[in-house]
């Protein structure tokens, strides 16, 4: 339990309840593909019925073909009475390091109870295991032909974080039904597409939006709430070293409080420039941390490695990145806000200059530029206090 009660949220309790139901065998998880001769076709038929019911706008024959397609796998949540409570029909493209979600659904009776979230977390863990296993199957072009039906018996079989996952990121691609975009976003999907190896490989779906989700090797999605809780706690501890948000100041004499800024702490927070030499440092530290947390910041976290990009320094004379800015900040090289803003612009313009418009790097720079401009506008009144004196 932490000071913000993160561990006690209703969503967390709901997720724990679902995992408990799974451990108590109230439902089981089957991985079924028609390519396995041992397949229980009745189970696939029940899955097909669920998808047809929940995705009523999709042609029934289309759903039938997808569920029974030998290249597809169905991850099915099956109740004690054999009915299917939810499922994901998917196709692995491990060679291209992604998995296509053909469709997914939770039965109406089980919706809005966290089942869809649990299903996606388990799905991510499961494909990570399979992708890692696939790495060893060099002679099997699609991996799928060796796929055997399985039952996931135990949630603890998934490691707490695969630091030694595959050398490259794994993605999930899906055409999200427009009604389900909110659900996909909650599961880490985004319609800003950076990954491109899926192009030409997956089916187009009218009325849907293509979304992608990067699956992180270092996170166990079935324990994501603990993972996020740990990071938040660490952040709160770190914040204590740069500001005094945690200090509760008492008021000993109310007769001395004549205006808001007389309240202990308010003046420091409102007028940091006049009162504290460390405020510019904190502001820039905040802006760097905020940029680093942006999903499009990954190309800018560290300096470009000349071993990986040998000709980079021939074209870019003044390289810049977020870790360099952080060390400049720590060495006290930013006396005013402008040189920092110039460094961010330099970092982005370097990227525009070196990379082609169609590259993910260029797209990331565009996203980060828009994001940073918005930040500057939003915090304009604070930033103005740290400008170079005229």
Q: In the complex, what is the shortest distance from the CB of residue 69 to ligand COA, in angstroms, rounded to a whole number?
A: 16
Indicate the residue among 208 and 360 with the shorter CB distance to ligand COA.
Answer: 208
Q: In the complex, what is the shortest distance from the CB of residue 292 to ligand COA, in angstroms, rounded to a whole number?
A: 24
Indicate the residue among 17 and 237 with the shorter CB distance to ligand COA.
Answer: 17
- State the Cα–Cα distance between residues 195 and 83, nearest whole angstrom: 36
With H, G, I as helix, E, B as strand and everything else as coil, classify residue 166: coil
- State the Cα–Cα distance between residues 99 and 212, nearest whole angstrom: 10
Of 100, 125, 153, 212, catalytic: 100
Q: Which of 22, 68, 90, 103 binds ligand COA (CB under 6 A)?
A: 103
Indicate the residue among 104 and 173 with the shorter CB distance to ligand COA.
Answer: 104
Q: In the complex, what is the shortest distance from the CB of residue 101 to ligand COA, in angstroms, rounded to a whole number?
A: 7
- Residue 87 contacts ligand COA per CB under 6 A: no
Contact between 151 and 31 under an 8 Å Cβ cutoff? The reply is: yes
Q: In the complex, what is the shortest distance from the CB of residue 119 to ligand COA, in angstroms, rounded to a whole number?
A: 7
Indicate the residue among 57 and 331 with the shorter CB distance to ligand COA.
Answer: 57
Binders of ligand COA in range 174-233 (CB under 6 A): 176-177, 179-180, 182-183, 186
Q: In the complex, what is the shortest distance from the CB of residue 11 to ligand COA, in angstroms, rounded to a whole number?
A: 4
Q: Which of 45, 55, 326, 341 binds ligand COA (CB under 6 A)?
A: 55
Pairing type for strands 170-177 and 98-106 reads parallel
Q: In the complex, what is the shortest distance from the CB of residue 55 to ligand COA, in angstroms, rounded to a whole number?
A: 5
Indicate the residue among 11 and 251 with the shorter CB distance to ligand COA.
Answer: 11
DSSP 193-216: ----TTTTTS---TTEEEEEEEEP
Q: Which of 1, 112, 248, 317 binds ligand COA (CB under 6 A)?
A: 112
Name the segment binding ligand COA (CB under 6 A); options: 114-122, 133-141, 164-172, 361-369: 114-122
Q: Which of 113, 197, 214, 282 binds ligand COA (CB under 6 A)?
A: 113
Contact between 71 and 142 under an 8 Å Cβ cutoff? The reply is: yes
- State the Cα–Cα distance between residues 181 and 178, nearest whole angstrom: 5
Binders of ligand COA in range 116-175 (CB under 6 A): 116-117
- Residue 11 contacts ligand COA per CB under 6 A: yes
Pairing type for strands 27-32 and 150-152 reads antiparallel
- Residue 104 contacts ligand COA per CB under 6 A: yes
C-beta nearest to ligand COA: residue: 182
Long-range residue pairs from 156-161, CB within 8 A, at least 24 positions apart, any chain? 157/129, 158/125, 158/126, 158/128, 158/129, 158/220, 158/222, 159/220, 160/220, 160/223, 161/217, 161/218, 161/219, 161/220, 161/227
Query: How many CB atoms neighbour CB 297 within 10 A?
Result: 19
Which stretches within 200-359 are classed as H helix?
Answer: 224-242, 266-270, 272-275, 279-292, 312-315, 322-330, 337-354
Indicate the residue among 207 and 265 with the shorter CB distance to ligand COA.
Answer: 207
- Residue 299 contacts ligand COA per CB under 6 A: no
Indicate the residue among 116 and 272 with the shorter CB distance to ligand COA.
Answer: 116
Q: In the complex, what is the shortest distance from the CB of residue 16 to ligand COA, in angstroms, rounded to a whole number?
A: 13
CA 328 to chain centre: 29
CA–CA–CA angle 168, 169, 174 (5° rounding): 140
Query: How many CB atoms neighbour CB 319 within 10 A?
Result: 15
16 catalytic per annotation: no
DSSP state of 190: B
Measured over the CA atoms of residue 231, residue 235, residue 236 and residue 240, the dihedral's sign is: positive
- Residue 62 contacts ligand COA per CB under 6 A: no
Binding interface with ligand COA (CB under 6 A): 11, 54-55, 103-106, 111-117, 176-177, 179-180, 182-183, 186
| Active site (catalytic) residues | 100
């Amino acid at each position: 339990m932490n000071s913000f009660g993160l561990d006690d949220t209703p969503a967390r309790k709901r997720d724990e309840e679902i995992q408990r139901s799974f451990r108590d065998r109230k439902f089981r998880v089957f991985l079924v593909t028609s390519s396995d001769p041992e397949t229980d076709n009745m189970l696939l038929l029940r899955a097909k019925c669920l998808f047809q019911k929940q995705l009523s706008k999709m042609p029934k024959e289309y759903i039938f073909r997808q569920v029974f397609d030998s290249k597809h796998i169905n991850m099915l949540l099956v109740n004690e009475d054999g009915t299917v409570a939810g499922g994901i029909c998917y196709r692995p493209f491990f060679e291209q390091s992604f998995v296509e979600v053909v469709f997914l659904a939770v039965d109406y009776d089980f919706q809005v109870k966290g089942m869809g979230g649990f299903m996606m977390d388990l799905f991510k863990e499961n494909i990570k295991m399979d992708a890692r296993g696939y790495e060893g199957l060099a002679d099997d072009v699609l991996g799928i032909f060796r796929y055997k039906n399985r039952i996931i018996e135990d949630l603890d079989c998934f490691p707490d974080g695969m630091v030694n996952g595959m050398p490259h990121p794994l993605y999930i691609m899906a055409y999200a039904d427009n009604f389900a975009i909110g659900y996909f976003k909650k599961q880490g999907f985004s319609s800003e597409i950076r990954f491109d190896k899926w192009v030409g490989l997956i089916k187009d779906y009218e009325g849907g939006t293509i979304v992608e989700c990067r699956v992180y090797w270092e996170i166990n999605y079935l324990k994501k709430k603990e993972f996020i809780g740990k990071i938040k706690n660490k952040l709160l501890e770190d914040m204590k070293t740069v500001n005094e948000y945690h200090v509760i100041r008492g008021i000993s004499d109310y007769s001395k409080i004549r205006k808001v800024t007389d309240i202990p702490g308010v003046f420091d927070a409102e007028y940091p420039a006049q009162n504290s030499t460390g405020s510019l440092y904190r502001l820039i530290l905040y802006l760097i941390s905020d940029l680093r947390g942006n999903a499009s910041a990954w190309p800018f976290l560290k300096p470009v490695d000349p071993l990986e990009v040998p000709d980079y320094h021939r074209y870019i004379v003044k390289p810049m990145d977020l870790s360099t800015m952080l060390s400049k900040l720590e060495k006290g090289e930013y006396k005013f806000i402008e040189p920092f803003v110039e460094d961010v612009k330099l970092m982005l313009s370097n990227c525009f200059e070196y990379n082609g418009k169609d590259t993910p790097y260029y797209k990331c720079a565009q996203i980060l530029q828009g994001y940073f401009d918005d930040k500057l506008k939003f915090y304009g009144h604070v930033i103005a206090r740290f400008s170079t004196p005229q």
